[in-house]
Amino acid sequence: MFAMQLRALGTPLVWTELPDREPGPGEIRVKVAACGVCRTDLHVVDGDLPSPKLPIIPGHEIVGRVDALGAGVTDLAIGERVGIPWLGHTCGACPYCASGHENLCDAPLFTGYTRDGGFATATIADSRYAFPLGEDGDDVALAPLLCAGLIGWRALAMAGDGKRLGLYGFGAAAHIIAQVAAWQGRTVYAFTRPGDVATQAFAKTIGAIWAGGSDEMPPDLLDAALIFAPVGALVPAALKAVRKGGRVVCAGIHMSDIPSFPYSLLWEERQIVSVANLTRQDGLDFLKIAPQAGITTTTSRYRLADANQALDDLRAGRFEGAAVLVP
């Protein structure tokens, strides 16, 4: 198999040939058809996240087909199309796993961070954390649903049922969640980097009724705001834009420091919460509603060998929607 491997933090990925692995008990081997590129991959490469496995193959939005079954795997078949998400394994025994909060597991493994992921021609996954994807939809179009969609969905649920929803950082996750929110009958306000008129125009084509810079106030106060950009200064900006009792949901795994702000921004029962990871139930729920909501993804396709270019383009905001690697 071939992979784009991270050998040291802060260095480019390296094209590497590795021996084919056989799946262990409970595991599957998946021939990768497409793998989305997520901002979290950038955080892994940049060393923003503690204790990655090194070397590591990044990538946790994997669409592929099962091509080998480990001992004891009976619920998936050779040739079946599956999606492999960020949550790669949980312990099943800690208080979080025992109470339905496996996203907070004390001893988890994460695909593309602490176990090898999908920037490769093949990957090994724990079969219990793979989602059957069926045959509807294109591999490349489905890939961004596996993280941008799933974690965006969890963040949207955390926002409560308020109608006016602000999305700060209009990348892969927001472009999916804007469509879900509009389908749910919410009103979407998109906030981009100041001056990014191209992304503001894009946001309006997929359901936002207003789009502007993150330094602007929306025309109406928001019921909730989701922050997808890794920029701490957006927290006080979003607090300013939500109504009394409104909620600000930080949906990223890493953010720059949040600057100090006057207590009056939080006063009147405004809330700040964060979203961590996903549960398998989040995945099952979202993958069921995505076709009902008629989600379409906007993707930029890169060859696997061009993964470093895809990461650079993501960092610089050079495309709308999501980048997807194709082996």
In terms of CB distance, is 90 or 127 closer to Zn ion? 90
* Residues linked to residue 131 through DSSP beta bridges, in sequence order: 83
User: Closest approach of Cβ 62 to Zn ion, in Å?
Assistant: 11
**E-strand stretches of the chain:** 2-5, 14-17, 27-37, 62-69, 81-84, 87-89, 109-110, 122-126, 131-132, 164-168, 187-192, 208-213, 222-227, 242-250, 271-274, 299-303, 322-326
Stretch that binds Zn ion, among 32-40, 199-207, 218-226, 291-299 (CB under 5 A): 32-40
Q: Is 94 in the site for Zn ion (CB under 5 A)?
A: yes
Single residue of 3, 13, 38, 211 touching Zn ion by CB under 5 A = 38
Rg, the chain, Cα only? 19
Single residue of 91, 109, 221, 258 touching Zn ion by CB under 5 A = 91
In terms of CB distance, is 151 or 265 closer to Zn ion? 151
**Residue (of 25, 26, 28) closest to 77 by Cα position:** 28
Stretch that binds Zn ion, among 34-42, 44-52, 136-144, 173-181 (CB under 5 A): 34-42
User: Closest approach of Cβ 53 to Zn ion, in Å?
Assistant: 16
Q: Is 18 in the site for Zn ion (CB under 5 A)?
A: no
Stretch that binds Zn ion, among 38-46, 158-166, 181-189, 213-221 (CB under 5 A): 38-46
Hey, what are 51's tokens?
């204790």
CB 267 within 8 A of CB 289: no
User: Closest approach of Cβ 118 to Zn ion, in Å?
Assistant: 11
Q: Is 97 in the site for Zn ion (CB under 5 A)?
A: yes
* Residues linked to residue 111 through DSSP beta bridges, in sequence order: 115
CB 112 within 8 A of CB 56: yes
User: Closest approach of Cβ 268 to Zn ion, in Å?
Assistant: 33
In terms of CB distance, is 87 or 97 closer to Zn ion? 97
Burial class (CB in 10 A: 0-12, 13-18, 19+), 264: exposed
User: Closest approach of Cβ 107 to Zn ion, in Å?
Assistant: 6
Site for Zn ion in 287-326 (CB under 5 A): none
Whole-angstrom distance, CA of residue 194 vs CA of residue 200? 10
Burial class (CB in 10 A: 0-12, 13-18, 19+), 72: exposed
In terms of CB distance, is 97 or 130 closer to Zn ion? 97
Measure the CA angle with vertex 61, ends 59 and 66; round to 5°: 100
Site for Zn ion in 112-151 (CB under 5 A): 147
In terms of CB distance, is 211 or 253 closer to Zn ion? 253
Q: Is 105 in the site for Zn ion (CB under 5 A)?
A: yes
Q: Is 30 in the site for Zn ion (CB under 5 A)?
A: no
What is the binding site for Zn ion (CB under 5 A)?
38, 40, 90-91, 94, 97, 105, 147
